[in-house]
Amino acid sequence: MNDLNTAPATPDIAKKLGLLPEEFYHITQILGRIPNFTELSVFSVMWSEHCSYKNSIRWLKQLPKKGKNVLAEAGEENAGMIGIGNDLAVCFKIESHNHPSAVEPYQGAATGVGGIHRDIFTMGARPIAALNSLRFGDLSSPKTQKLLRGVVKGIGDYGNSFGVPTVGGEVYFDPCYNTNPLVNAMSVGIVDVNKTVSAIAEGVGNPVFIVGSATGKDGIHGATFASQDISENSAEQLPAIQVGDPFFEKLLLEASLELIETGAVVGMQDMGAAGIACSSSETSAKGKVGMDLWLDQVPMRQANMQPFEILLSESQERMLVIVHQGRESEVLNVFHKWDLPCVQIGVVTDTLNIRYFWHGELVGDIPAESLVLGGGAPIYERDFAEPAYLEHVKHFNPFDVHEPELLLPVLLKLLSEPSIASKKWVTAQYDSTVGAAAMSHHVPMECAVVHIKGTEKSLALSVDCNSRYVQANPRKGCALAVAEAARNIVCGGGTPLGITNCLNFGNPYNPEVYWQFKESILGMKDACEAFGIPVTGGNVSFYNQSEEGPVFPTPTIGMVGLIENTLTQTMSNHFKNVGDLIYLLGNPVEDIGCSAYVYHYHHIKFSPAPYLDLEEEYRLQQFVLQLIEKQPIHSAKDVSDGGLLVALCESAFPNQLGFAVYNPLEKVRNDFFFFGEAGGRVIVSVHPDHKEHFEHLLSSKEFPFLLIGQVTAENIEIEGRESLSISEARTVYESALPKYLER
């Protein structure tokens, strides 16, 4: 035994492991003695921000957790779970893999996908869909191009091989992400509510198994690394990167679901951040039991591994399974059938402590409760202060913005912006039909729609966040992210059920960053309470920061909705027929704040977040759902990034149709009307024979609307004085990414 493992640790060692002096002292108080290196290593990862949420939990507790049919609230299980009828529930969660992807994009993204799927199937659910939210820097930079290629290939290769379709997501570009890209992965699964499994250890004497891949030295202190700023030296500081094996994980999925059917499982937990250390302590603390672990029994793929390395390894495709005593043979038989390693490495005890043994010698003894969120892990209230840059936002005057004589050149500029342009180069690398579920409609949707086999139902899925809005006003910007996600679900015909979030921010010890975080949480709370949507969980990713400063605050919202009848209630966003009338629903607010028009065309970096009225937004969404149910509309498309003209183009491109539109508001500037990004607006198309009936319906509800034009055969026409072929606009839209990436 190396003396390092059992010798008393020091404050200097604690500092090198990322622990504060007061945290080291707190650990000595918990243990009643000085910890050894093995114990201190466990505390260092479990008390890292990535695992403990020590800088964020105070604010996260303010988010609404309760909701209709919520079966697993935030913090209760590996993922949120909401009942959808037919004895079925949807499990869903989103998490970040930002830091690993910044230095090793392919494996960083691939293992992020693998990890989030394990969170779903350890609950007994079968993953049926994956989504992602990606942020990169300036696309003209070779570094950004390399990161994008690696991340997209990692996501595609893992998801395609694992057999779960990648059905949706978003990709944004901004120089603030040059050093620190964001890679957020979301998984959605379906489970029989009578066959769910909890991440819990219970029953003194019950055996504890490790199943899946052998344990190596990859990812050790990965959770600690994820709780540090990115720097030029990060590649050298990163622990040996985890390497994913999607084919192995597919076997693990099938074996796990088969094992659950036997009834032999007490509890099951994925091994993600902090590996065995995290899974054993979390399951034990939840069950209010202890656990003895025999680390020398853990299957290892590298020689001379030390106890702390075994505990902290983040090797992929592994799970901890607690089994009913006497049913060990059933577990072994299932995993042997699938040719997967399955070894007993411990036993549940009544000590309330996790005890680590190495060839019979006790090398660590820690109260399980002291390691977990809500137990002994520290909780901090950080200082916050409004960022100084917001003074520039306050000085913005929209009427100082020069009004262009022609709008089509502006439109083409926006369509060529990588954040707005077609993401076909990305999505072509994802298989959207592989596996257990397929897209209900192979047509453009405001959200992904995935049919639930054996039912008439479908899930409507969306991932949204415009970080430009959040940078300008975190509270309103995050509320806008929730609103857009809900609007997208609704435009697809779904009723929002719940959200999961991935909160990407800079260093929480920076008061201005922490203010952005706090305000974003309040904005999410505002919107979720206004819409009656619960938050079922998610992930906090701090330290997305480099020498150049923090990334834009990016609270990504993953939302799940339900379409009760796929055939009659699903709506697409594309125009169907020449001659259909085009209406704009919602309050026509004169607002260009934070628009792509202002940011990319006029290069004005500071302006207020767009207009949002949550009551108006909710009313709009409910009204759109009624229109879809009554079927007087042919399409529904929300207005968001790029404004009205971009939304019209995205509705026109799929069927190569055109549109002729005008601004019916005489006192509103054309550029404000066509490029503003105020919230709470949707464009719909209606057959001309239904004009009188449709307008009467809107008027009877006193709902604001404008007739703004008509679907045409092939051209874009604005105000009867500007014209462009739809094919030319589409070419600009679809060539923006390939011109950087296909050379």
Active site residues: 50, 97
3-state SS, residue 561: strand
For residue 681, give Cα distances in angstroms to 409, 423, 698. 24, 23, 14
Q: Six-digit token pair at 93?
A: 């969660």
Parallel, antiparallel, or unpaired: how do β-strands 682-686 and 635-638 relate?
Answer: antiparallel
* Other beta carbons within 10 Å of 447: 31
Q: How many CB atoms lie within 10 A of CB 251?
A: 17
Nearest residue to 612 via CA among 636, 637, 630, 639: 639
Amino acid at 360: G
Three-state SS for 115? helix
Burial class of residue 602 (count of CB atoms within 10 Å of its CB; 0-12, 13-18, 19+): middle
Q: What is d(CA 660, CA 235) in angstroms, rounded to the nearest whole number?
A: 53
CA–CA separation, 574 and 444 (whole Å): 7
* Contact indicator for 544, 492 with CB cutoff of 8 Å: no
| Tokens describing residue 614 | 């949550």
CA end-to-end distance (rounded Å), the chain: 54
Q: What CA–CA distance (Å, rounded) separates 45 from 447?
A: 37
Closest Cα partner for 137 from 175, 184, 98?
A: 175
d(CA 46, CA 308): 13
Residue 710 CA to residue 684 CA, distance in Å, equals 11
CB 137 within 8 A of CB 173: yes
DSSP at 643? -
